Amino acid sequence: MTDYKPMWGKPFYEKIYPTNSIIMACNTRIGKGVVKGILQAAKDTDSPIIFELAKSESDLQGGYTGLTPAKYGKFVADVAAEVQYSNYIIHGDHIKVGKPEDIPGVKELISAQIEAGYTSFAIDASFLYDESGTNDKEHLSGNINATSEVTHFIEEKLGHKNFGLEVEVGEIGKKDPKTGLVMTTVSEATTFIESLKDHDVHPHFLAIANGSVHGFQYDKHGNPIRQEGIDIQLTSDIGHAIKPFGVKIAQHGITGTPLDIIAKKFPKDVIGKGNVGTNWMTVAWDVLKIFEPELFETIFKWTNDNYQKSGIPINETFLKYSKLAILEHFDELYAVNETTEHALASAAYTSALMFLKAFNSYGQAKNL
């Protein structure tokens, strides 16, 4: 009889690896109802699923969601038991190492995530880029060393290598004032993976800078617009270059990318993981707008009172900064009535079905 705990990342990813499908990774900043809807959609379609929160979203103090690793791990596992579905992972997303001095704190966070039942981890040391280097390996040396140290810490802490591992080269969304978005090169990607393997570090996914941005892009009125900035050809080139190493791309910043583009144009033979975050928050806001109008108006007002800037449309401000209202209104968000929770689950279920279909995830969990 299953206990519906998360599966270990390494065997989970390795069984999905040969398929031309993307595993949806959900940053569920608001869990109430939303996690249940996503899990039910995954169960009904036999799809693998990942639940994750970044270090900024969930740290030892709860981040801006109010969810510590212990709270998040228990919440997801409890809902999985309710839905009776076990083909899922709990993943520590964007565990940022901004400077070498961050490593002790990162190890402390990972220890808490392990205690909370996390089975997969994304080490993001992409900020450790040495501009003074003369080649890719020298540029990436800080990232290589930090990623290796933290990975070996996880191995020692767990006593095995069954965990999932995502690494990152090229900060997602980083902007160069002269040229715009910084793109990862094929050479950087292959050098990074080869160097990690020399350090006995064997990632399953590589996050790259390929034109994606987190959240939405907006028109002059503050309305979200179709996001088509991901460089498909570059993504494919990098993906095919690292695939012989047993590594696929983790595509970040998918919210806002039209589902038809994902379904028809994403190279699913090389993209193995797709992060969907802001979508679930906007799903929750749309439900609360109707089912809990007073709570929604309170959150809307708090966000704009604290973050509105001259010349920026009010709707854009809300969509960009409402995530910071979650901690402020945590108790109210997790105390909504059963009718609202059912609506949240239903809305998340429908949205999840669309993403899972576009990701070609249907049926891929049957052999897990």
Per-residue pLDDT tens digits for 5-19: 999 999 999 999 999
Query: In residues, how long is the chain?
Result: 368
Tell me the average pLDDT of the chain: 93
pLDDT tens-digit readout, 208-261: 988 765 555 545 655 654 555 688 999 999 999 999 999 999 999 887 788 999
Mean pLDDT of the region 137-153: 96
**Contact between residue 31 and residue 67 where contact means Cβ atoms under 8 Å apart:** yes
- The per-residue pLDDT for 57 is 98
**Contact between residue 156 and residue 125 where contact means Cβ atoms under 8 Å apart:** no
- The per-residue pLDDT for 348 is 98
At residue 1, does pLDDT exceed 50?
no
**pLDDT band at residue 283 using 50, 70 and 90 as cut-offs:** very high
At residue 368, does pLDDT exceed 80?
yes
**Contact between residue 123 and residue 167 where contact means Cβ atoms under 8 Å apart:** yes
Mean pLDDT of the region 318-322: 93
**pLDDT band at residue 131 using 50, 70 and 90 as cut-offs:** confident
* Better pLDDT: 319 or 216: 319
- How far apart are the C-alpha atoms of 173 and 358, rounded to whole Å? 23
**pLDDT band at residue 169 using 50, 70 and 90 as cut-offs:** very high
Mean pLDDT of the region 80-90: 98
- The per-residue pLDDT for 254 is 85
Q: Look-up: residue for tokens 């990942």?
A: 50
* Better pLDDT: 312 or 250: 250
- How far apart are the C-alpha atoms of 301 and 293, rounded to whole Å? 12
- The per-residue pLDDT for 119 is 98
The per-residue DSSP string of 90-144 comes to EEEEEEE-SSGGGHHHHHHHHHHHHHTT--EEEEE-TT---TT-SSHHHHTHHHH
Mean pLDDT of the region 19-23: 97
- How far apart are the C-alpha atoms of 54 and 323, rounded to whole Å? 13
Percent of the chain with pLDDT over 90: 83
Q: Look-up: residue for tokens 């350090």?
A: 199
Mean pLDDT of the region 292-315: 94
Mean pLDDT of the region 78-106: 97
Domains detected in the chain: 9-281+354-358 (3.20.20.70)
Question: pTM of the full predicted structure?
Answer: 0.94
Strands, E assignment, the chain: 23-26, 49-54, 88-96, 120-124, 164-169, 175-176, 180-181, 205-208, 217-218, 224-225, 248-251, 271-276
pLDDT tens-digit readout, 173-210: 455 666 566 889 999 999 999 999 999 999 999 999 88
